[in-house]
Amino acid sequence: MDNSHLTYRRNASLIFLFGLIIALIWTFVIFGRVSVIHQWFDMDAFGAIGEHIYHGQGFSLGNGPTMRRAPLYPAIIALVFTIFGFNPAHREESYIPVFALQCIFAGLSCLIVYTMARQLFNEKVAIIAGLLCAIWPQCLRYLGVVDDGTTDLLLITLLAFLSLRYYNEPNVKNGLLAGAVIGLAALTKPVPFLFPYPLVAIAWLQGKRNKKPFPAGGAIALIGATLVLCIPWIIRNNIVSHGQFTGISSNASGEFLRGYINAQSKYFLLRKKFQGNWDWEANLYEDGILHRFGLAFFTYKDGKIVGSMQESIHNEITKEKAENIVAKNDVLHHPLIFLRKFIIQLFTFWYVVETPAKSLMVGFFAILAIAGAIRGVLIARSNGVDVMPLVAVVLYFNIIYAAILAFARYSMPLYPILITLAANGIAGKTKSGSEVKKMESVVND
Q: Which residues contact 402 (CB under 8 A, 6 or more apart)?
A: 342, 343, 345, 346, 349
Which of 45-54, 81-90, 301-310 is least confident?
Answer: 301-310
Mean per-residue pLDDT over the chain, rounded: 92
What is the Cα–Cα distance from 394 to 49, expressed in whole angstroms?
Answer: 30
Residue type at position 396: Y
Q: Are strands 304-308 and 298-301 parallel, antiparallel or unpaired?
A: antiparallel
Distances (CA, A) of 396 to 104, 167, 170, 180, 228: 27, 16, 19, 18, 22
CB of 40 within 8 A of CB of 150?
no
Quick one: pLDDT at residue 304?
76
Q: Residue 306 above 80 pLDDT?
A: no
Query: If DSSP codes are grouped into helix, strand and coil, which group holds residue 310?
Result: coil
Quick one: pLDDT at residue 56?
95
Q: What is the mean pLDDT of residues 257-261?
A: 97
What is the Cα–Cα distance from 399 to 392, expressed in whole angstroms?
Answer: 10
Q: Residue 436 above 50 pLDDT?
A: no
Buried b (16+ CB within 10 A) or exposed e, 415-429: bbbbbbbbbbbbbbe
Going by C-alpha positions, the residue among 4, 123, 85, 96 that lies closest to residue 41 is 96
Q: What is the dihedral of CA 56, 60, 64, 67, to 10 degrees?
A: -140
Q: What angle do CA 56, 62, 67 make, to 5 degrees?
A: 90
Residues 203-229 have pLDDT tens digits of 999 999 988 889 999 999 999 999 999
Going by C-alpha positions, the residue among 341, 290, 345 that lies closest to residue 318 is 290
For the chain, the structural domain boundaries read 3-444
Quick one: pLDDT at residue 39?
57
Q: Residue 38 above 70 pLDDT?
A: no
Residues 349-400 have pLDDT tens digits of 999 999 999 999 999 999 999 999 999 999 999 999 999 999 999 999 999 9
Q: What is the mean pLDDT of residues 44-60?
A: 94
What is the Cα–Cα distance from 51 to 71, expressed in whole angstroms?
Answer: 13
Helical axes 149-168 vs 96-120, angle rounded to 10°:
20
